[in-house]
Chain A
Amino acid sequence: MNWYGESGSYSIDTSEAAERVRKNTDNAPKKLCDWTELKDAGLVSSRAEYIASVRAVASSMAEEGIAASLSEKDTDLLQMVRMLDELDEVINLLTERLTEWHQSTTPDSSRKYNKAASKKFIQTIAKSKNPSMKHVAREILSLTNLRTQLMKDVSRKADEVIPNMSALVGGLVAARLMSRAGGLSIISRMAASSIQVLGAESALFSHIRAGTPSPKHGLIFQHRRVHNAPRDVRGKLARILASKLAIAARLDAFRGELDEAFLADANEKIDKLMEVSK
């Protein structure tokens, strides 16, 4: 059926038309729209008017569709994680530049050999006598505070939006995984093996193309249970964790609430592996 309906009962009402367009299940309809049919029925008087009507239907459907996709519960979290990662990059960049600046004005300064933590170092510069350097350092410190705050917000939001994944690997890592995948509905359709190497794409493709060793883990390495594990079980652990994450993602996407039984089971399995490896 065309958007304007069956012969004899044509209508160009936007919401009725949208309903008809949605109902269509045919990928290759036998009969496409023919504007002269509407003209003969007296509903449009010209080609331009036909285009205006079909355009109105399509536009309103598009607006509805966009509104629906924006109101999905993960949209906010996705933007927050991306903002956090961007902030990280900016802070690192500024810190590096400021360190360089400080070294070039202070002969006895060497960050490389005095091993000061970068935050500590910035704090010292913030008390220095050079006024412009001091201002920059203060800005960096305030950005760092902002970052800490945002990180807490992300964790809190993740606990709410993706409770099962967050319970497994912590809100931050869970949110980062979801953001890398592109959204909750996408990660919930991913194979565990894909989740395992999310964030290690370049290693994965060089493995596929050139046969270099395959990556064991991507973003999930950031989770303490993976990076604290002994080297020889890390891959195995990453695999198990990824498969549990895949299930968790599906729980989060389709049920949306914490599943205690699943979590207890998953944690037990992971802990067992840790025990064996000790």
Chain B
Amino acid sequence: MKDIRGTLVSEGAGGVYGERMLEGCRVWDPYRSKLSALWYLDKTTDLKKDEVVLYLGAANGTTVSHVADYTECVYAVEFAPRPMQDLLAVSARRKNIIPIYGDATRPREYAALLEPADMVYMDVAQPNQAGIAVRHIPFLKKGGRLILMLKTRSVDIRKTPEEVFAESCAELEAAGLTIEKSLWLNPYHIDHAAIVCRK
């Protein structure tokens, strides 16, 4: 991914959500976006021009807009109506975002729209996050990446983040994914972990 003197940026039409601009590029803030935080912690994180991305938990489309700057197209899934309105507005200005109003716990709602993805990116505030990830393995190309941004606090408030993390990793591995790396997103996001797997 592109950086200007250490600041992660993406190239595209600016002014999506009031992001700062740097030399004509859109600054991608690690405190707002987990994917950006992952890049700051692990510089090998990359997005490629020809990649098809399935993005679960698109919310208002801030991170989505940056991902769309880097990749060929983004299938962005969101299930809450209010953020979805914002996502539609974002996609109106970016022709490679395909906004999908559906529930990631029920892929059948939008399965017929999808094509094999090079990357599945997940950032959903649900209790069974690893389970949702596993359910989307069929949409991933062989050798494709799955990045799970694990919100440990949404899984089970009674367990420690470490326990949740270990359990989620085990569930992903049991489903046949190989975990390439996993790290905590401190200090950018508290109690959030990034798990990068490969099919």
B144 contacts chain A at the CB level, 8 A cutoff: no
- Beyond A27-B106, A69-B81, A70-B81, whether A62 also contacts B111 by CB under 8 A is no
**Number of B interface residues, CB 8 Å?**
32
Q: Which residues of A contact B84 (CB under 8 A)?
A: 62, 65-66
A35 contacts chain B at the CB level, 8 A cutoff: yes
Minimum C-beta distance from A68 to chain B (A): 9
Among residues 150 to 180 in chain A, which have CB atoms less than 8 Å away from a CB atom of chain B? none
Minimum C-beta distance from B85 to chain A (A): 6
Chain B residue nearest to A209 in the complex (CB):
B158
Chain B residue nearest to A35 in the complex (CB):
B115
Among residues 86 to 144 in chain B, which have CB atoms less than 8 Å away from a CB atom of chain A? 87-88, 91, 95-101, 106-116, 135, 138-139
Q: Within the complex, which residue of A33, A54, A65 is in contact with B101, where a contact is CB–CB below 8 Å?
A: A65
Minimum C-beta distance from B118 to chain A (A): 13
Q: Which residues of B contact A62 (CB under 8 A)?
A: 84, 87-88, 99-101
Q: Which residues of A contact B87 (CB under 8 A)?
A: 62
- Beyond A25-B108, A28-B135, whether A66 also contacts B91 by CB under 8 A is no
Q: Which residues of A contact B116 (CB under 8 A)?
A: 32
Contact A59 B113 (CB under 8 A): no
Q: Which residues of B contact A59 (CB under 8 A)?
A: 88, 91, 98-99
Most A-side CB within 10 Å, residue of B84, B97, B101, B113: B113
B36-48: CB near A (< 8 Å → 1, else 0) gives 0000000000000
Q: Within the complex, which residue of B81, B100, B108, B113 is in contact with A26, where a contact is CB–CB below 8 Å?
A: B108
How far is it, in angstroms, between the C-alpha of A25 and the C-alpha of B108 when the chains are bound? Answer: 6
How far is it, in angstroms, between the C-alpha of A35 and the C-alpha of B115 when the chains are bound? Answer: 8
Q: Which residues of A contact B81 (CB under 8 A)?
A: 65-66, 69-70
Chain A residue nearest to B91 in the complex (CB):
A59
Contact A58 B108 (CB under 8 A): no
The secondary-structure label for the interface of chain A is helix
Q: Which residues of B contact A27 (CB under 8 A)?
A: 106-108, 111, 135
A119 contacts chain B at the CB level, 8 A cutoff: no
A92 contacts chain B at the CB level, 8 A cutoff: no
How far is it, in angstroms, between the C-alpha of A2 and the C-alpha of B107 when the chains are bound? Answer: 13
- Beyond A21-B113, A51-B96, A62-B99, whether A29 also contacts B138 by CB under 8 A is yes
A190 contacts chain B at the CB level, 8 A cutoff: no
Contact B115 A58 (CB under 8 A): no
A41 contacts chain B at the CB level, 8 A cutoff: no
Minimum C-beta distance from A207 to chain B (A): 11
Q: Within the complex, which residue of A20, A35, A55 is in contact with B91, where a contact is CB–CB below 8 Å?
A: A55
How far is it, in angstroms, between the C-alpha of A62 and the C-alpha of B80 when the chains are bound? Answer: 11
Contact B112 A58 (CB under 8 A): no
A34 contacts chain B at the CB level, 8 A cutoff: yes
Minimum C-beta distance from A138 to chain B (A): 35
A205 contacts chain B at the CB level, 8 A cutoff: yes
Contact A28 B158 (CB under 8 A): no
Contact A21 B112 (CB under 8 A): yes
A61 contacts chain B at the CB level, 8 A cutoff: yes
B197 contacts chain A at the CB level, 8 A cutoff: no
Chain A residue nearest to B75 in the complex (CB):
A58
How far is it, in angstroms, between the C-alpha of A32 and the C-alpha of B110 when the chains are bound? Answer: 11
Contact A58 B113 (CB under 8 A): yes
Minimum C-beta distance from A269 to chain B (A): 34
- Beyond A58-B100, A59-B91, whether A66 also contacts B85 by CB under 8 A is yes
Minimum C-beta distance from B191 to chain A (A): 15
Q: Within the complex, which residue of B101, B107, B114, B135 is in contact with A61, where a contact is CB–CB below 8 Å?
A: B101
B73 contacts chain A at the CB level, 8 A cutoff: yes
- Chosen A-B contacts, 7 in total, with CB atoms closer than 8 Å, are A27-B107, A28-B138, A32-B115, A47-B72, A51-B95, A65-B81, A70-B81
Known: A52-B95, A205-B157. 16 other contacts (CB 8 A): A27-B108, A28-B138, A32-B114, A33-B115, A51-B73, A54-B113, A55-B91, A55-B97, A55-B98, A58-B101, A59-B88, A62-B87, A62-B88, A66-B85, A69-B81, A70-B81
List 5 A-B pairs, minimum CB-CB distance, nearest first. Answer: A62-B101, A28-B138, A65-B101, A33-B115, A69-B81
